[in-house]
Amino acid sequence: MSIKVENLTYKYMPGTPFEKTAIDDVSFEIKDGEFIGLIGHTGSGKSTLIQQLNGLLKPTSGNIYIDGECITEKGVELRKIRQKVGLVFQYPEHQLFEETIYKDVAFGPTNLGLSAEEVDERVRRALEVVGIDIEKYRDKSPFELSGGQRRRVAIAGVLAMEPKILILDEPTAGLDPRGRDEILSQIKRLHEEYKITIILVSHSMEDVAKLVNRLIVMYKGKNILMGSPREVFREVETLEKIGLGVPQVTYLARRLREKGYNIREDIITVEEA
């Protein structure tokens, strides 16, 4: 499913002395099946933006269209939007609450009023996607799992709702390198096999740049850069200025600049060499 964001602005506590513009006139389009990296430092507006994409927050102004349908006008059923747009919050494992892994993943689809067989099929599929062996783990408590596994079960809970768009907010936060690699490779697989639209939110360029088709770079509530990782990396100076440069690229750019090269063009040649 596609997403279109038009002149979106979000203000916290508008009209008070504490007013804070968290999203400032942001526009972009995401095509069906794209894998997007939404990147920016803490406080750049990433969470505020994604909560509007599934209707949790209502924009101060501007519009959002999901698959051509405006979700920001009055009278839109939020439940329907959330079925289409699955949002995996930061540290989603903190929201696991059922006594078994099976029940936790089954919770959402059960509430959709599906039959037991349909629920079972969804739970199996979702756990399979995140690489959790259902036979081994179904009746275990989430608390018997490692941190990375718990997070994968929490992600399976969102996947079991079979969203057409999946947004993951810092899915690797707090995991060790192994847990991080596991989660990222499962997400990659999810995109390749199921072709759903994915937005991966991160403050780490290195985590996302090698996975995604396109990057949206946020800075102080604005969408300052957008394009393929290659196109975005070309803007080394901007990335450096906002502290999002990839160290190796920044280092190479500095060396080339010292030698009198025009880095905007030449850095790409270096990458390809």
Nearer residue to ligand ADP within complex by CB, 43 or 131: 43
Residues forming the site for ligand ADP (CB under 6 A): 12, 20, 22, 40, 42-48
Closest distance of CB 77 from ligand ADP, Å: 25
Alpha-helix residue ranges (DSSP H) falling in 27-99:
46-53, 78-84
Q: Which residues contact 46 (CB under 8 A, 6 or more apart)?
A: 38, 39, 40, 169, 201, 203, 218
Nearer residue to ligand ADP within complex by CB, 44 or 54: 44
**Does residue 53 sit in helix, strand or coil?**
helix
Nearer residue to ligand ADP within complex by CB, 146 or 174: 174
Which of these, 164, 168, 165, lies nearest to 154 by C-alpha position? 168
Closest distance of CB 4 from ligand ADP, Å: 20
Nearer residue to ligand ADP within complex by CB, 45 or 179: 45
Nearer residue to ligand ADP within complex by CB, 149 or 223: 223
The H or E element spanning position 204 is none
On whether the CB atoms of residues 8 and 27 are closer than 8 A, the answer is yes
**Does residue 213 sit in helix, strand or coil?**
coil
Closest distance of CB 273 from ligand ADP, Å: 35
Closest distance of CB 87 from ligand ADP, Å: 13
On whether the CB atoms of residues 149 and 180 are closer than 8 A, the answer is no
Closest distance of CB 272 from ligand ADP, Å: 32
